[in-house]
Structure 1
Amino acid sequence: MKTDILIVGSGCSGLYCALNFPESRQITVITKAGAEENDSYLAQGGMCMLKDESDYQGFFDDTMKAGHYENDEASVEIMIRSSRSVVEDLLQFGADFQKDENGELVFTREGAHSEKRIIFHKDVTGKEITSTLLAQAKRRSNIMLLEHTSMIDIIEENNICYGAVVQRQDGSLETIEADYTVMATGGIGGLYRHSTNFRHLTGDALAVAVRHKIALKDISYVQIHPTTLYADEERSFLISESVRGEGAVLRDKNGERFVNELLPRDLLTKAILEQMEKDGTEFVWEDLRTIPENELNRHFPNIVEHCRKIGYDVTKECIPVVPAQHYFMGGIKVSHESRTSMEQLYAVGETACNGVHGKNRLASNSLLESLVFAKRAALDMAEHLGEVKRNSHLFETLDMSQYKDLSGLYKTYHELVKNEIKGEERCTIR
């Protein structure tokens, strides 16, 4: 196959990137599973937005403080300053965010935020944004979406990327030649025993980067979410930061409150793990009864219903929660335009690292960061399409036999990533 742009991943960053190219360009989006099986769909709480200039410094300071001041300041400024235009795009695409009786956006607050600056759609904001982008992508004749199509390797020579080797749903291998390739493969949660991520998100792009000596950044910075439902489920169910932002409290085995619930995620996780050790328990309790029942049902219907299915009535009892791997701040090192260290190769979303999050991501900056820098990537590529180098001969002479043992190759990939990452004690890499 040949295409102008190959995007590996169908989460919000991959789709938004695709939508920001001129419709005269052929875009091919491939995704390892179904189009809706990505972590963008799982984001509950919301997405940050700069309400007005008076909140700029507060937004900037909160992001820097949460990231332990290891953030790239220019990236933080770009993200915040671009937030309003991204939200305008989403509203134009048809995304539905909570509004008041005057039709103005409603803002909520989460842990480590000094102000209410988070827009939301109930407690399924990621699903609302990503499904809206997917619907838009499906309407465009220049965007082709290939589901259940895995990237096996990139095709490169002399540090220039010319496309990728992919495996289709029927097991067949083929090559896709592209002027530009964009990695939007998501996080690494599938490598962990306890994670809120989909199991098929195993850091494939990072492994390919290691294999081809593409620069990485902050590879050991893995965020553990402090509150996931303690239950026998394949994927840890997230109890959103917004729940604590609206007043939910954490209690020990004796029902006593033991921590400030609005601490940054890493500090709150540390406090919860310490309390679990002190109590000799596998979880702590989260009390949502502090939130009015009508507000619980209006703002958090998905959480209320999921807990009910597991056997908990959040209006009458506490629920058990435990920290789990949630987000990856590190990744493939990229510029402010999402360029990697390899020519004609970009990376966006959770698999990329532009330094915006520092050592710890501020709640609800993930969707925003993914969208802001995906758009910047698309605009940068569109501007430089005339400078693309091509190498069709490389595809004609490619030795496909090296991909014969795919199970062995993936095992190698997983080991490459695990060797780069330092896992948390209670979230052991499997």
Structure 2
Amino acid sequence: MTYDILIIGTGISGLYCALNIDKSKKVLLITKSKKEYSNSYLAQGGVSVLKDSKDLNLFIEDTLKAGHYKNNKESVKTLALESRQAIENLISLGVRFEKNENGLIYTKEGAHSTNRIVYHKDITGKEITDTLLDRVSLSSNITLLENTKCVDLLTSNNSCIGAIIEKNNETEKIYSEFTVLATGGIGGLFKNSTNQNSITGDGLSLALKHNIILKDMNYIQIHPTALYSKDLNKRRFLISESLRGEGAILINSKGERFINELLPRDIVSNAIFKEMNKTKKDYVYLKADFLSEEFLKNRFPNIVKACLDEGYNILKEPIKVSPAQHYFMGGISVDLFGRTSMDNLFSCGETACTGVHGQNRLASNSLLEALVFSKRIANFINSSRGAFIYNNYNFKASTPIDKSKVIDLLKREADFLDDSIFKY
């Protein structure tokens, strides 16, 4: 099969990239599981956005400070400057961000110096993903295939010319002028993660196999507040940082508050780990029962229900939380247009490392990064010229992606990780 663009992954970055490709180009979107099985779909909090020109320096500084100034400053500036257009585009597509008589409502999360996050209840990722999927289904130039694995890239002289896919136990070559890796992060490699189990670093494995440059592989973010569970075989339910942004506090078993809840995630996570070691417990408590019951039900209906399903009533009592792997700031090294070290191969979303997040991601910058840089890829592709020859190549299908390669690399780069946290 031949397509103008092949996009691997159906999270927000993959979907938004596809929708911004010129309608004259044939696009194939594939995902190895169901189209909704992405971390984007699980995102609760919201999307950061530049409120006005006065907010620019603050937004940039908040992002740099949270990332311990290890960020790529040009990427951060690009993120902030193009954030407003991204939100306006989503609204035009039908995304229902919360509003009042004055316009968009902005909330606050950890390490933000002002309220600048737009959201839809506590299921922002689902709202955006569902909207984009609806638009994709209406786009005659886009084909979406579920349960379709990418088992290898097709390459020639350090240029990507497509991929080998596997569907229904049959392999097939897909030739494409441009290929985009939007395969997500690495959470499925961990026993203790808020990610979908199917997110297992596949894009990174492909990059390793083809000597594509990777970056910052030791930058792995631990989220402070995942709902505590003794069952290590299921995904940890995230308790959004926006709940702390709205006033919820962290306390220990003695009812004592031990940390400023709105500090950057790595600092809060470390404080919780220390408290857990001190008290010899596997959790601390998040207390929100002093907030209005009506407010909690309206603002955080998804969290309220999930807690009740686990036997906690967040409306009446503190809930048990503990840190869990959440996000990967490293990935395939890309420039401001998502270009990798291999010609005609792009990457976006959590798979890519734009340098935006530095050593620690600022809350609600992940969905924004996915939107801004996936659109930049689409814009670059739309402006590109030149013919592409789909034949005269002879490639053999190779073995499926080797997850162990990704794990071995993570262990080498991140010496604080040990064997016990990996499933494989």
Query: What is the TM-score normalised by the length of structure 1?
Result: 0.95
Structure 1: how far apart are the matches of 2:118 and 2:224?
A: 22
Partner of residue 363, structure 2: 363
- Alignment match of 2:395 (pick from 378, 381, 398): 398
Cα displacement string for residues 351-395 of structure 1 (whole angstroms, at most 9, x for unaligned residues)? 0011010000000000001100000001101111x235535222x
When structure 1 is superposed on structure 2, of 414-423 and 112-121 the one drifting more is 414-423
Q: Which amino acid aligns with 1:297?
A: K
Structure 2: how far apart are the matches of 1:420 and 1:146?
A: 35
Partner of residue 243, structure 1: 243
Equivalent residues of 1:207, 1:416 under 8 A apart: no
Partner of residue 414, structure 2: 422
Cα displacement string for residues 306-342 of structure 1 (whole angstroms, at most 9, x for unaligned residues)? 0011111111111110100000000000000000000
Q: Does 1:410 align with 2:402?
A: yes
**What does 1:135-150 correspond to in 2, within 5 Å?**
135-150=134-149
Partner of residue 229, structure 1: 227
Structure 1: how far apart are the matches of 2:50 and 2:416?
A: 33
Q: CA deviation at 1:157?
A: 1.7
Q: CA deviation at 1:258?
A: 0.8
Partner of residue 126, structure 2: 127
Q: 1:421 to 1:197 in 2, by over 3 A?
A: farther
Equivalent residues of 1:204, 1:413 under 8 A apart: no
Cα displacement string for residues 78-109 of structure 1 (whole angstroms, at most 9, x for unaligned residues)? 1111011111110100000100134x000000
Partner of residue 334, structure 2: 334
**What does 1:63-82 correspond to in 2, within 5 Å?**
63-82=63-82
Equivalent residues of 1:110, 1:363 under 8 A apart: yes
Partner of residue 175, structure 1: 173
Q: Which amino acid aligns with 2:87?
A: V
Q: Which amino acid aligns with 1:303?
A: I
Equivalent residues of 2:204, 2:406 under 8 A apart: no
Q: CA deviation at 1:410?
A: 3.0
Secondary structure at 1:304's aligned position in 2? Answer: helix
Partner of residue 255, structure 1: 255
Secondary structure at 1:387's aligned position in 2? Answer: coil
Q: 1:425 to 1:322 in 2, by over 3 A?
A: farther
Equivalent residues of 2:217, 2:410 under 8 A apart: no
Q: 1:310 to 1:14 in 2, by over 3 A?
A: same
Structure 2: how far apart are the matches of 1:366 and 1:240?
A: 14
Structure 2: how far apart are the matches of 1:5 and 1:79?
A: 24
Secondary structure at 1:45's aligned position in 2? Answer: coil
Q: Which amino acid aligns with 1:54?
A: K
Q: Which amino acid aligns with 1:149?
A: T
Q: CA deviation at 1:429?
A: 2.6
Q: 1:411 to 1:97 in 2, by over 3 A?
A: closer
Query: What is the TM-score normalised by the length of structure 2?
Result: 0.96
Q: Which amino acid aligns with 1:226?
A: P
Cα displacement string for residues 184-203 of structure 1 (whole angstroms, at most 9, x for unaligned residues)? 00010011110001111110
Q: How many residues align?
A: 420
Q: Which amino acid aligns with 2:109?
A: E
**What does 1:1-12 correspond to in 2, within 5 Å?**
1-12=1-12
- Please identify runs of 4+ aligned residues in structure 1 that moved more than 6 A: none
Q: CA deviation at 1:417?
A: 4.6
Equivalent residues of 1:219, 1:420 under 8 A apart: no
**What does 1:23-34 correspond to in 2, within 5 Å?**
23-34=23-34
Q: Which amino acid aligns with 1:429?
A: F
- Alignment match of 2:208 (pick from 207, 210, 216): 210
Structure 1: how far apart are the matches of 2:366 and 2:190?
A: 20
Secondary structure at 1:89's aligned position in 2? Answer: helix
Q: Does 1:108 align with 2:107?
A: yes
Equivalent residues of 2:187, 2:326 under 8 A apart: yes
Secondary structure at 2:99's aligned position in 1? Answer: coil
Structure 2: how far apart are the matches of 1:262 and 1:191?
A: 28
Give the RMSD, CA atoms, in angstroms. Answer: 1.4
Q: Which amino acid aligns with 2:134?
A: A
Q: 1:296 to 1:423 in 2, by over 3 A?
A: farther
Cα displacement string for residues 148-179 of structure 1 (whole angstroms, at most 9, x for unaligned residues)? 101101011211000001111x1111110000
Partner of residue 264, structure 2: 264
Partner of residue 219, structure 1: 217
Partner of residue 296, structure 1: 296
**Identity score, percent:** 49
Partner of residue 319, structure 2: 319
Secondary structure at 2:154's aligned position in 1? Answer: strand
Partner of residue 185, structure 1: 183
Structure 1: how far apart are the matches of 2:406 and 2:214?
A: 16
- Alignment match of 2:193 (pick from 180, 192, 195): 195
Partner of residue 350, structure 2: 350
Equivalent residues of 2:200, 2:403 under 8 A apart: no
Q: Which amino acid aligns with 1:398?
A: F
Structure 1: how far apart are the matches of 2:266 and 2:72?
A: 19
Structure 2: how far apart are the matches of 1:340 and 1:388?
A: 20
Cα displacement string for residues 17-44 of structure 1 (whole angstroms, at most 9, x for unaligned residues)? 0011111110000001111110000000
Q: CA deviation at 1:53?
A: 1.0
Q: 1:425 to 1:272 in 2, by over 3 A?
A: farther
